[in-house]
Structures are given as structure tokens and as C-alpha cells.
Amino acid sequence: MSFLKLTSMACLALTLGACSSLFQPNYRAPLKAERDAFEHLKPGCSAQDCPLVNIDVVRFPDEPGLDAAIDQRLRKMTMNTPDAQLPSTLKAYEEQFLRSAQPGYSSYLQAKVREQHDGIVVIEVSSYLSTGGAHGMPGRGFINWSRREHRELTLQDMLVPGQERAFWQAAEEAHRGWLVGAKLDKDAEFIRQWPFQQTPNIALTYGAVVLKYDVYSIAPYAMGHPELRIAYPRLNGVIKPELFPGRG
């Protein structure tokens, strides 16, 4: 084979490789998101305290699986009693809620982008249900969506095998730091009444792994939704290395 032919084949290979890289998704560029927000009152109601449903979500034209995950999570967040059934759609939930709601009742559902980095989209979902009590009941959660794998990452997906105990030990350390920051570390009664707990609400944000807690979990209602932050260096050997910001 002539030198000229070898050179031509090598150039072709380089060209094809360059073209292939051009068609790879750019995970540094944010995934396109569109907001979809509306508020509906109970049909026929014109009073000041009409029951209402407010839904404010993000949609992703290029990632329909993420849309489906958000929709399912919000529908689950409407299940506020042990015998509640999962609504077939958010529209079905809205219609059912407004049909039976009393004056002053309200339901809010929201999904927003908290962060995007390294091919991970962190969605924060929230709910607030008011049914006439002293205050409404809020809910929170996260979806960590992998654009590479087109699926939600669970805690087990994030962890190096066998490191779950180490992860929660790091979370307990973060909780102790939170108590110090809130000047509660010397309050024995608070610590006894509101001990550390695990939470399913975990987010792979750029600056740290964030754990968010529901009201009445590790603090009273008035303190809202506490957040614990675990720095990534503390999780070396615990979180899979490819999930560290900048390594993916």
C-alpha cells in the first residue's frame, strides 16, 4: 500500500472522528426547558376564597422521559392520605380536587430546574396543600436526571457499591454542622426531640450533595425544609467518581 494511500486513509479516519464528535450532545450546554404554568378556580365560583389549583412546571422538548418522571412525581405528591389513589393525570387530579374542595382550599404543585451541570439535570419538585387547617402542608423532593442515560438516578446509582453506610455517616456529620450553624448544638431538648434522620431527597448539585428534609422531620414546622450539604471531597470513594462535578 502506497504512502499516499495510507496518508489519505488516516486523514479520512481523523475527519470521521471529528465529525462524530460534532454530533455528540453538548452536556455543558443547558437542556432546553419550557415553562408551563396555570391556575384554575373551582368552576362557577366568583368569591374571594374560591378553591384553586396552581400548577407550575418545566417541560423538556428534547427529553420526554424527564417530562414523564416529573409528571409521575407530582402526581405522587398529591397523595396526602393513606387511602389516596394515584391520579391518572394531573388534569384528573385538578378536576377531582376542585369538585370536592371547600372555600379556601388550595393546591400548588411546582417543578423547577435547580441546576444543570455535567449532563445532570437537578429538578426540585414542591407541593403545598391547604385544606382549612392552621397552615398548609408543604412537600419537597428532587429528581437527578442523567442526560447520558436518559433516566433518573437513585441513591444506589450514585453510590460506590457497599458505601451506603459511609454516605449516611457523612450526612450525620453534615447534620451536626447544621446544628452548630443554627446554634442548636447545645440545645439538648431540641436534639432529643428532632434527631437525625435519613431522607430520600438528595440532589447532586454542583457545589455539594444536598439533602433536603420535609417539615416535622428533623425540625419543627416553623423551620421549614432544612438542607444539609456534604462537600464532594468528603465523599471520595463513596459517590461514584464520574458523578463528581468536572469529572464526567
Amino acid (1-letter code) at residue 46: S
- Confidence grade of residue 82 (pLDDT, cut at 50, 70, 90): confident
| Mean per-residue pLDDT, 98-123 | 97
| Mean per-residue pLDDT, 77-92 | 93
- Confidence grade of residue 16 (pLDDT, cut at 50, 70, 90): low
Is residue 3 pLDDT above 70, yes or no? no
pTM across the whole model:
0.88
Report the range of poorest mean pLDDT among 5-9, 18-22, 178-182, 192-196.
18-22
| Mean per-residue pLDDT, 64-77 | 98
| Mean per-residue pLDDT, 220-232 | 97
DSSP category for residue 162: T
Element (H, E) at 94: helix 90-100
Mean pLDDT of the chain: 92
Is residue 2 pLDDT above 90, yes or no? no
Predicted local confidence at residue 22, as pLDDT: 52
Element (H, E) at 42: none
User: Of 124 and 28, which is predicted with more confidence?
Assistant: 124
How far is Cα 155 from Cα 248, in angstroms, rounded to an integer? 18
Predicted local confidence at residue 14, as pLDDT: 54
Query: Please, what's the b/e burial string for 89-112 (b: 16 or more CB within 10 A of its CB; e: otherwise)?
Result: ebeebbeebbeebeeebbbbbbbe
